[in-house]
Amino acid sequence: MKKILCSLDFILIIFAVACISMPTSLSAKEDKPNIIFILTDDLGYGDVGVLFQKQREGVQVQTPELDQMARAGMIMNRHYCPAPICAPSRASLMTGMHQGHSSVRNYQFDKALEDNWNFANTLQKAGYHTIHLGKYGLQGGGNSPGKWAAYPTKRGFDYFYGYVRHVDGHQHYPANFWKLGDNKSHQQKKEVWENNEEVSAGLDKCYTTDLWTAKAKQLIINQARKNPKRPFFMYLAYDTPHAALQLPTIAYPEGKGIKAGLQWLGKPGRMINTAEGTIDHYRDPHYTGKGLTDVAERFATSITRIDHCVGDILQTLKDLKVDKKTIVIFSSDNGPHREAYIKGERWSPSVFESAGKFKGSKGSSQEGGLRVPTFAWGPSRIKAGQISNTPSQFHDWMATFCDYAGVVAPARTDGVSLIPTLHQAGKQRQGVVYVEFNNQQGLYLDGYKGLRMKATDHSVDFDIFNTIDDEPESKNLALTTKDFIRLQKRMKDEVLRIRMPNRNAKKPYDGEFVPALDIDEADLIQGVLVKSYHGEWDWVPEFLQFTPKKVSWEKNINPDTMTTEKSAGLLFSGYVKVPDSGDWTFQCEASGFLIFKIHNKLVLDGDYKYDGSELSSTVKLAAGIHPYRLYFKTPAGQPAISLQWEGPNTTLSSIASDALLVQGKHKRGKKLP
């Protein structure tokens, strides 16, 4: 491991979020691709043939379509969910915020997704038709679209068809009573909503894996034929192979694509072409007569059914000749489950070694609970046969999708575009991989994974693993050398610098002071680095991805000193010198839109629907030097922004000029090359 000098800490932190280079995005001549994100529920890394099943002895789970998808695209071998459980993973996926910033954490099922930028409404702004099919679970309280504060069509989706509540995804036949369920909730019929209409009455014998797939095919066909010039984004979220482990009615229909495979018939009581026979009945013959238990046959059958569905969707894209203008991502919300919602039955992921070589499963922040099977497929953009070991995480997809749409993601988000990795072209910006769940906490730093399974106090050490050479996390490297002793401290510092406490998900380390940088103040001078930009943006973008029109040093944070105009932006950055350790409150009002970060903590968010009112947030900061970035999207009129602070021995006031510092010895106002 390379030795890292303390004086480089700030550079490393900045690079962890954004490298100052131009993004690898679409050229002006390149069409915006259709984007399909397929998310499974509790599918383990080891459940897929190409990743692990084919290496096993005995009966193997068959996934030939996924294996082919992986061979024809990229295997993202170190892609992680943000928490090893459903709701927080899906929230981070949608919002582009890791679990240190997400408003949905721990076991907060059915909590309303915050009303802010997400991967649906940003793509909607970029001209995409947005579709969500399947499981949602982030709607908030209520019992109908009018009452649910965060119903999908209120969060950027033009069309929704699926289960709204989290628990509804625990039954895979919405219109049928299931007598084998282990409790009344898992036995009862469930509601399926199509925009504002509840439609489950017509879904007799519709197995949800088939139902969502048939609807997806119907919508893809309609989009390709009726709106071929309009790109679409589809978020297809299966509720299988979750623990209900129900079986399909009949075998998968012959063939794939437009005229074969699953078909949407649209007739109540015969909505899809597999709505016949007996519910919870069909077992894939590959798994019968092999000495497997009932639940093992069910589990394997449900995964192979998903496999058929994915192959059917990809063939549909090929039949429509839109495969070369479409990107498809396949993943899972967390590691494999350990339960079965069937009376008298038990289940263990060890039966098929669903976690592969890894330790842990759903609910655990070990690799088995976090590393999810992820493939990226796009014949015209993603080269076949690629394997990436670059660590990445769910919150990176929003930035990636924005990049495909030809726009830069909002500055508030934590992710980076993965297009350089997917296309194997350009420089990949280093992202943040951070995990937070109950008392578990982890992150990647310098290529090593730090993990605290019981972070009951911030003094608890991270176990440190090399997950490339040591996939089972069997050798804890912490404290083994001086380098790893230093890395331990940096990990403890970094987790405090990248997250904000959440009052509804309190952690033992919420009360810790954010450590200052170990930096020589003699290398700093008073002033503020100001970069100005021109462009059209629907949100405050990550300005570090643009080339500034002008760069200068100013005395303080004041847009009046800059030449601004409509469709302009400013990025104020540097260091703030905190005189005393304590609670520091930052307060801001602005005539435009703003994002304020200290280190990589999102402190003030004045972007989405911001009306110019007062914003305020308190951060526990240790005395010393802290980096900051203030993003400002100017209004049409005269720009104005007032940033104040208040803390120990400091009354509410503008940040004094002698507390604002920059690196280098440059004259204030001098334009840089």
Q: 460-496 pLDDT, tens per residue?
A: 999 999 999 999 999 999 999 999 999 999 999 999 9
What is d(CA 408, CA 122) in angstroms, rounded to the nearest whole number? 10
Model confidence band, residue 666 (pLDDT cutoffs 50, 70, 90): low
**In the CATH scheme, what is the code of domain 31-431?**
3.40.720.10
The number of beta carbons lying within 10 Å of the beta carbon of residue 504 is 10
What is d(CA 29, CA 22) in angstroms, rounded to the nearest whole number? 17
What is d(CA 261, CA 585) in angstroms, rounded to the nearest whole number? 59
What percentage of the chain reaches a pLDDT higher than 70?
A: 93
Q: Mean pLDDT for the chain? A: 93
Q: Give residue-wise pLDDT tens across range 19-78.
A: 333 344 444 346 899 999 999 999 999 999 999 999 999 999 999 999 999 999 999 999
**Does residue 15 surpass a pLDDT of 60?**
no
Q: Which residues make Cβ contacts (< 8 Å) with residue 154, sequence separation at least 6? A: 115, 148
What is d(CA 298, CA 243) in angstroms, rounded to the nearest whole number? 10
Instruction: Output the pLDDT for position 7.
Output: 33
Q: Give residue-wise pLDDT tens across range 101-122.
A: 999 999 999 999 999 999 999 9
Whose tokens are 């383990």? That residue is 44
What is d(CA 506, CA 486) in angstroms, rounded to the nearest whole number? 28
What is d(CA 127, CA 576) in angstroms, rounded to the nearest whole number? 40
Instruction: Give the mean model confidence (pLDDT) for residues 329-341.
Output: 96
Q: What is the phi/psi pair of residue 607, to 5°?
A: -115, -80
Measure Cα distances from 357 to 61, 371, 475, 525 in Å.
16, 11, 14, 52
**Does residue 297 surpass a pLDDT of 70?**
yes
Q: Which two tokens stand for residue 63?
A: 């996934």
Rg of the Cα atoms in the chain: 25
CATH of 521-663, one of 2.40.100.10, 1.10.760.10, 3.40.1190.10, 2.60.120.1560: 2.60.120.1560
Residue in 456, 455, 450, 459 with CA at minimum distance from that of residue 477: 450
441 contacts 457 by C-beta, under 8 angstroms: no
Q: Which two tokens stand for residue 391?
A: 């660590």
What is d(CA 290, CA 258) in angstroms, rounded to the nearest whole number? 34
Model confidence band, residue 418 (pLDDT cutoffs 50, 70, 90): very high
Instruction: Output the pLDDT for position 16.
Output: 37
Whose tokens are 């998900």? That residue is 505
Where do the structural domains in the chain lie, given as residue ranges?
Answer: 31-431, 439-497, 521-663
What is d(CA 191, CA 208) in angstroms, rounded to the nearest whole number? 12
The amino acid sitting at 53 is: Q
Q: DSSP 3-state assignment of 459?
A: coil
What is d(CA 358, CA 353) in angstroms, rounded to the nearest whole number? 9
Query: What is the CA angle 556-560-565, rounded to 5?
Result: 130
602 contacts 410 by C-beta, under 8 angstroms: no
Model confidence band, residue 665 (pLDDT cutoffs 50, 70, 90): low
